Each structure stands twice: as structure tokens, then as C-alpha cells.
Structure 1
Amino acid sequence: MAEAPWLSIVGLGEDGPDGLSPASRRALDEAEVVMGHARHLALLPDLDCDRIEWPVPFADGLPILLGLRGRRVVVLASGDPFWFGAGAVIARHLSPGEWRALPGASAFSLAAARLGWSLQGTVCLGLHAAPLSRLRPQLAPGQRTVVLLRDGAAVTELARYLVGAGFGDSRLTVMESLGGPQERITKAQARALPDTAFAHPVAVAVEIAGDGAVLPGASGIDDRFFETDGQITKRPMRALAMSALAPRPFETLWDIGGGSGSIAIEWLLAHPTTEAISIETRPDRAARIRRNADRLGVDRLQVVEGAAPAALDGLASPQAVFVGGGASGALLDDLTARLAPGTRLVAHAVTLESEALLATWAARLGGDLLRIDLAEATPLGPKRGWKAAYPVVQWRVVL
């Protein structure tokens, strides 16, 4: 039988060793060193080994752990270490043969067991160190979520967030110390959460209800979702741009000339694995892009202040690029030299000069040219008439 790795990552529940599998018990019995949060270490009986409390911030514990190579080490984690836990962070610093994981029941599994919810139909989020706005794309009546929070005070913050977003009717089930002797379950509407001190570790199950604005699943969300100074790709044009950009899982977008960030934000809303970098010259607009991204739950948006092409140096390579304004021959020269073959490039032009530029480049590289004329019904005296927007030319090409 092969020798066990030097490191075992053991998922520990609130019932302590009582809930451990035989393999996890053996790992603890054979350990020379046990590392973990003070709360986890306190759940253990007396063991003939050294105990090391994992420091805060978490990253400070990694050099300590790596310095223990050559000894039998157990790291204690909550429940399933690889579901919003420490497991993946630790594993990134080790070779595959150095470690093994011995997971316990996750907080999500325990919550589903208390509520009778199917996990495959429930959105599970770990918001220990992430903003509550990560919930924003999930705020739709009927959606069920289970959220792990950093502490008891965050339960009140969650209720206030839901009320502020127009979903104060949402039903909360607050679950403290799931699976342990101190387990407590409290049910309330978000708008009527009792003035109670909740204790960590805490999970909250949320059944979304209310009449707040729901983010649609299609491209071209309403302009009112964005804070803007007027520099924004409007909803119909944005829907056409997103169709041309065609976001796919695990892809990265460069949004050159971010404005209000609407293109990059919609790209990120398309799939949770997408990434986006918004390049914006004006600091006030860059700050606005960050606020829009944070509010709409896609705080992973990277905003770079500066002018392209210089600001593009050192950025992660994209699979798609959007030039919403300010296209120039110099920028297109740089992009076509810089970008990898297969990159999708979409550029919009409004002025005659930029239209001519895109037509020239389309003749050189191919792709599709689309002229978009839109008109909106607006008041005209006591009746209504059509008010035309400036026509936009879209060039779409795969390099």
C-alpha cells in the first residue's frame, strides 16, 4: 500500500470528532502536527501532537504549513474543504502527491438536509470575504440560495441588503452551528428579522420574494441598472454588441473605452467564469465603472485607467475585444499585431471618419459590417413621432 501523503486536509463539523470518518480519525491519531482555526482546535480531544493555530490573514499560515514538510500534518477545515473552503488555496501550493483531502458534510449539504431543498436547484454562495452584492444576479422571486456569512452581524447586513434591493419579503432561515450541539435555526422575513445576536458559523437560506428589479437573463439589460454620465452603450446597441462578441465560459474581454462599464458588466453577467478588463482614460468614469460592477454583483471586473494601446501592456490575453469609441488606425494596427489569431474584434463607429476607418479595415481583414439605424418614439406636440439616433456602424471580425 502506498504511503499516505504528509498532509491531510480534514473537514471537521460542529460536532467535532464524533462526525469524522474512520480515515479522518486515523489521520488525526497519526498526526504529529494539527493546524487549524482556534474554534476547530477547541473541538478536538487531547492528542499527542503539536497544535498550531492558523493565523489571520489566512495567507500568513501558508509559509508555516510549507515549513512542516517531512512531518505528519493535519489541517482542519470546515465541512468540505473544497466548497468555498481552504482546500483549493492550500492545494495550489503543493504537488499532487503531497496532500489528500478527507471532506466532511458541507454546510450547504447540512442546510439542504434541514430544509428539504434539492442542492442542484439551489444557488450556493460563500460570502465570508465577498460583498453581499454577489447575490444581485440571483435576486428573482422563487430563487433559492444558501449563503455562508463571515459572522453573525452579517446576517443583519444581508437582511438590510435584501430590503434595500426591493426584496424585503424574502424568507430567511438563519442556521447557526449546523450539525453541532449549539445548532439554532431562526426563520423570519428579511424586513422583520428579529433583533437577535447570531453566532458564527452561520449559514442563511434565502427564498427570494419581493417586487425589486430583476436582472434579465438576455443581453441588453435596461439602462437604468447603470449609473452613467451619458457615456454608455445604450440597451439596443448593447444587445447587438453582445451578440457579436458572443461571450463563452472561461473567456476574457477587453472593453476599450469603458464609459459606464455596461459592455464589460454584461459580459461578466453572461457566465460566472468569464473575466473582463475595462480600459478607461478618465478617473471619474473608471470609478463609476467600479461602482456599477460592484452593485450588479460582478466585482471581479478589472478596471485599468489609461489610454489604449499603451494601457494594454501586461494585460491577460483576451478572446474578445470591444472598441466602443475612439477607434483609430494606430489602435487597430496595435490590436491586430498584439492579439492572438482567433480573437474576436468588434468595433463601433458613429462619425463619418470612424466609419471610413472601419470600412478600410474590413476591406483589408474581412469580417462583417453592419449599419444600425434606430429611432425611438417621443412626444411631438400632443402626439408622438420618431426621433432617430445617430446611425452606428459595427465591424465584427475574427482575427
Structure 2
Amino acid sequence: MAVVGIGADGWAGLPDAARSAVLEADVVVGGERHLGLLPSGCAGRRVPWPSPLRPALRGLLDAHTGRRIVVLASGDPMFYGIGRALTEELGAGALRVLPHPSSVSYACARLGWPVEDTETVTLVGRPTARLAAALHDGRRLLVLSADGATPAAVAALLRDHGFGPSRMRVLEQLGGPDEDCLDGTADTWDRPPGDPLNVIALECRSTPDTVRLGAVPGLPDEAYESDGQLTKRHVRAATLGVLAPAPGELLWDVGGGSGSIAVEWLRTHPSCRALTVERDPVRAGRIARNADRLGVPALRVVTGRAPDALAGLPVPDAVFIGGGLTAPGLLDACWDALPPGGRLVANTVTLESEALLTEWYRRLGGELVRLAVAHAVPVGGFTGWRQAMPVTQWSVRKAPSTFSGDNR
């Protein structure tokens, strides 16, 4: 099967190898827009993608077994394109991919931006909120739009997050005869929906009073909506350091509170995954709002009481327990859920939970530490230290030879 990338320049922009593949095909599968770019001389049967696409993909391909199939895709099929789904379904060896320059390559060429220094965020089939995690002063971003209304939604998000002064350029129909560029700032963006085939170029600039959100764990406490159930900044940074998130890993955040540990786990890398378990529905809703606000809307919020709410959840790479440690069976359930090599970190401020962690530390080892933070505060006309409640933290890694039934 050939997978042919095609751009806004249509048939005229295809090299000879891609044209030959399309002309020789018995079946050409693609979006309505892509199929409409082909000349009448392409005799293969034209089959538009079904919607939703992924569940129907295997059946569609099986229906044309034995025929020469060509799939049309936008630009580079392996860059946020259908190439990924086809590879997962059929294997790389079953495909012959003929890429076209991607919209990112075209955009960088027009803007004079080095591709390797330009971060790309796709909003195709994804919530606009995920862009928030990439907003940093002076950063250049390319946003892949879902449709013609995406630029206005992006401008609104930038204003809401204190990045209204950011320059926005909307590049439409890149590489085609109707290519255009619309220029402005998020603060002043009032254009109606334009061409659905567009890429947004952002030069991020914040207002002076915008809360600075860095790229490492330990965001300011004021970045979160909270009722007081929040792992504070310095303890949070230390906790994420011990949890040690790596790309693609899944975290269970048990006793989510305001969701800060799960949120900052997700912000470390776009491929990180997390779910948080919170028994209070009001707090669960607050966690979801914090996740949206801080650019990680993919955080899964499970409303329920642990350990019962843990049943059936996907296997974690790491577990953080921030509340409810003394609930019967909670530590056992979290430890049992971890695979060999998995990490468990638990924080507490109570003597009862500290005694429990000390017992588990005695059985399984790991590291038991006490984290103490003091803040300078006015004392009359002078300054003194106000000590926050110390946090006892137990962290442990499940060794390959550890079997939970033999170690408790």
C-alpha cells in the first residue's frame, strides 16, 4: 500500500513517483478535499474516509484486499497524519510512504524560523487548552489548526493566560495558489473564521503581571485553584523529583486534592500520562479546571474513594499517595498495582500516617525523609521564620524480585 502526501498545490505539486502510485491504484482512499485535488485521469475508485475513522479503518482496508490501494494524506503522512494509524494497524513493512513537505516545513520557510527550534502544537482533534503548557515568553510556536475558527480560539486562550501581546500570524493554504498570511496580536484579533487549512505562528509575549510558569516542577501555588488541599510548591518540586517522570509513563495520583502532582507530572513531557483519584466531587471538578488552565486537559479524573476506585485502572509506572494513607488496604492496593521497577511515593503530615510509612519502610526499604520549609514573615518591625508543617515522605522502587505477597 502506498501512502501519498499531497499539499494545497494538489496534483501539480506531486513528484513523479507519487503521481505514478496514484495513477496505478485500483482504489484511492482519502478525505473529500484530498480526493477533489486529483485530475479526472486518475481511474482508481475514490473512497472517502468514514467518520469516525479509526474504528472503521481495518474494515475499510479489508474490503479492498487484493487491490492496489493508495491513501492520500496531508503533507507528511507520518507527522500527525494517517501514517501512524496505518502503521499501527498494518505494520511499517506493509506501507510505502511518499511524503510531501509538511505544513510546518512550509511555515518555517515562510517565516525564516529554523524547524528544529520551533515547537509544534496540534489542535486537530484535541482541546485548545493543551496549548497553555507551551506558553513561555519569547517562545516561537506553530499551532496546527482544527478549522477556520481555531485562530480566534487561540487568541482567546492567549488573552486569558496573560499572553495578549503575542504576535499571531495565520498562514492559510500554504504551498497552494491561494496562500495568504493574516497578521495581528492576540489582544486585537477580531477576524471572522477564515480558511480551514491554516497554521498559526505565535511569538509569545506576556503582560508584566502574568504569573510566570516555568518548565520544571514547582509552579507557584497561586497558579492553582485550591481549597487549601494543595501540595505546596517546594514539597511538590521535591516530590516530582523523586517520582522522576519519564516520557510515556503513567502516574496514579491518589488523593488528588487540587491535582498539582498529576498536573506537573504531565507538564514534564507531552507523552506523559496521569490519572488522579479524588473522592470529593467538588475537588474532582477543581482538579479538571486546574488541568485545563495549566495546559494538560488529558488528565483523567476518577471520582471515588480509594482503594475501591483503583480497581480496573491501567497499570501505573508510578504512584503518588497524597491523602487517605490510613484507609484500610490503600497502600497494599497501590503496591500490588505497581509492576517491577515501578515507584511509589507517599507524603503525610500526621503522626498516624507517619507510623504507617515507617512500618512499610522497615519492611521494604526505600528512602524515608522529612521535608521542612520555613518562610520569612514580619515579626513586629523585624523579620522571622514561620515553619510550615513538616512532611514525611517515603519513596520506594519495586525491585524485579519483589513479590508483594511475600513482603508484607
Is 1:216 the equivalent of 2:214? yes
* Partner residue in 2 for 1:51: 46
Return the match for 1:300 from 283, 295, 298.
298
Contact 1:24 1:102 in 2 (8 A): yes
Q: Which runs of 5+ in 1 are unaligned?
A: 1-6
- TM-score, normalised via structure 1 length: 0.93
Counterpart amino acid of residue 339 in structure 1: L
Equivalences, count: 393
Q: What amino acid is the match of 2:31?
A: H
Q: Secondary structure at the match of 1:93?
A: helix
Match of 1:85 among 71, 74, 81: 81
| Aligned match for 1:157, one of 145, 153, 178 | 153
Q: 3-state SS of the aligned residue for 1:292?
A: helix
Q: Residues 29 and 298 from structure 1, CA distance in 2 versus in 1: closer, same or farther, beyond 3 angstroms?
A: same
- Output one character per residue of 1:170-205: Cα deviation in whole Å (capped at 9) or x when no partner: 111111111111111122122223535411101111
CA distance in structure 1 between the aligned counterparts of 2:308 and 2:192, rounded to whole angstroms: 54
Moved over 6 A (4+): none
1:231-265 superposed Cα distances (whole Å, 9 cap, x missing partner): 11111111121122122222221111111110011
CA RMSD in angstroms comes to 1.8
Residue matched to 1:283? 281
The answer on whether the counterparts of 2:318 and 2:338 sit within 8 Å (CA) in structure 1 is no
Residue 175 (structure 2) pairs with residue 176 (structure 1): no
Matches for 1:106-125 after TM superposition, within 5 Å: 106-125=102-121
Residue 189 of structure 1 corresponds to 185
CA displacement at 1:269 relative to structure 2? 1.0
TM-score (norm 2): 0.91
Task: Provide the secondary structure at the position in 2 that maps to 1:240.
Answer: helix
Q: Secondary structure at the match of 2:329?
A: helix
Distance 2:51 2:337 in 1: 41
Contact 2:143 2:199 in 1 (8 A): yes
Is 1:347–2:341 an aligned residue pair? no
Q: In the alignment, which of 320, 323, 327 is matched to residue 321 of structure 2?
A: 323
| Alpha-carbon contact 1:139-1:214 (below 8 Å) kept | no
Query: Hey, what's the Cα distance between the residues in 1 that align with 2:323 and 2:252?
Result: 13
Residue 248 of structure 2 corresponds to 250
Q: Distance in 1 between matches of 2:344 and 2:44?
A: 59
User: Per the alignment, in what secondary structure is the counterpart of residue 192 of structure 1?
Assistant: coil
CA distance in 1, matches of 2:212, 2:46: 49
**SS of match in other structure, 2:340:** coil
Q: What residue number does 2:60 align with?
A: 64
Q: Distance in 1 between matches of 2:188 and 2:351?
A: 58
Cα 1:15–1:307 change in 2 (3 A) is: same
Which residue identity lines up with residue 10 of structure 1 in the other structure?
Answer: V
Give the structure 2 partner of residue 3 of structure 1.
Answer: none
Identify unmatched segments of 5+ residues in structure 2: 399-408
- Contact 2:5/2:74 (8 A) holds in 1: yes
Of 17, 22, 29, 2:11 maps to: 17
Identity of aligned residues (%): 47
In structure 1, the residue matched to 2:162 is 166
